Structure 1
Amino acid sequence: MAGTYKGACFCGAVEIEVTGAPVAMGYCHCESCRSWSASPLNAFSLWSPDALKVTRGAENIGEYHKTEMSHRQFCKTCGGHLFTQHPPLNMVDVYAATIPTLKFEPAVHVFYSEKVLPVRDGLPKMKDFPSEFGGSGETLPE
């Protein structure tokens, strides 16, 4: 799955690319991601920060920190969501919808304890984060 994948905000003022392969892909059910994405869950792809490059419109990127865990980046023109930096994890979440050429292959659901939409897809359902990302590692029934 390694390659270079291009993406952009809603209006195209900001363009990005990620190179390599994501560290993880899945769905987040936490209240913050649901509220930010205006959706019952958020499809994520986690990357090493050095895999992400802003190729156009860096001056048009706004940032919002609700918590120190998530530094959310968006286009100041259209409000389109681009990615979220996770400094404590040394990872960046490039929203799956932002990079449409990446074949999205989810492997896990995180913060399933906060779900508002049950999903029965056979993937592991984590109470919070996997232990390798600082979470409890506890899984929940589907």
Structure 2
Amino acid sequence: MAEKAFPYKGQCLCGQITYEVAVIEPAMGHCHCSMCRKFHGAAFATLGEAKAGNFRFTTGKDKLKTYQAENGTKRTFCEDCGSSLLFEASNSDGSLVEFSLGTLDSDIALKPDAHIFTQYKAQWHHITDDLPIFPEGRNS
């Protein structure tokens, strides 16, 4: 049986951690929650999703560190350069991997489709695009 193609490549800032994605799911969001803002050092974090079987680390897995917040969410980063790599919701069943789109080296055809947790957004940032805006998650 032929190995699955993994056309999308990404890495942390220092390049010690690399990963590949076979298929990126269509739900991509700009998360404005205060924890994502602090973790990414930006007005929001842009996250993509892949089914767990469509995402793999190719180097540097031993360099991964995870921070678990009081609310049970997990954020994974490179222990050397601090690059924000993964997000995991507290109710995750592990079937999806949420990853920071900013760490991709490959171009993708998909675009983010929503702003989420906007009730917590930075007061100095103004959303100026036409994407749907959700005060909490996509179901709010």
Write the distance in 1 (CA, Å) between the matches of 2:111 and 2:61. 28
CA distance in 2, matches of 1:46, 1:122: 21
* Alignment deviations for residues 77-109 of structure 1 (CA, whole Å, 9 cap, x no partner): 211221122351443221011113142501100
Match of 2:119 among 113, 116, 122: 113
**C-alpha deviation, 1:3, in angstroms:** 6.0
When normalised by structure 2's length, the TM-score is: 0.84
Structure-2 separation of matches of 1:33 and 1:89: 17
Name the structure 2 match of 1:81. 84
For the Cα contact (< 8 Å) 1:9–1:82, is it kept in 2? yes
Q: Residue in 2 aligned with 1:127? A: 135
Over aligned residues, Cα RMSD in angstroms? 1.9
**Are residues 1:14 and 2:17 paired?**
yes
Find out whether 1:92 has 2:97 as its counterpart. yes
- Aligned equivalents of 1:94, 1:102: Cα separation in 2: 15
What CA distance in whole angstroms lies between the structure 1 residues aligned with 2:67 and 2:97? 14
Structure 2: distance between partners of 1:67 and 1:4: 36
Q: 1:105 to 1:96 in 2, by over 3 A?
A: same
Kindly provide the amino acid, as one letter, of the partner of residue 114 in structure 2.
V
Q: Which residue of 2 aligns with 1:140?
A: none
Identity of aligned residues (%): 27
Whichever structure has more strand as a proportion of its residues is: 1
Is the Cα contact below 8 Å between 1:24 and 1:47 reproduced in 2?
no
Per-residue Cα deviation, 1:51-94 (whole angstroms, up to 9, x for no partner): 21011011111111014542111111211221122351443221
Among candidates 27, 39, 44, match of residue 24 of structure 1: 27
**Is the CA contact 1:23–1:47 (under 8 Å) kept in the aligned structure 2?**
no
State the Cα distance separating 1:42 from its structure 2 match.
1.0
- Which of the residues 61, 64, 77 maps onto 1:58? 61
Q: Trace 1:29-48 onto structure 2 (pairs within 5 A).
A: 29-48=32-51
Q: Which has the higher contact order (CA 8 A, sep 6+)?
A: 2
On the 8 A contact 1:8/1:15 being kept in 2, the answer is: yes
Aligned match of 1:72 in 65, 72, 75? Answer: 75
Deviations 1:10-56 (A, max 9, x none): 10111111111224112010000001111111111122222210110
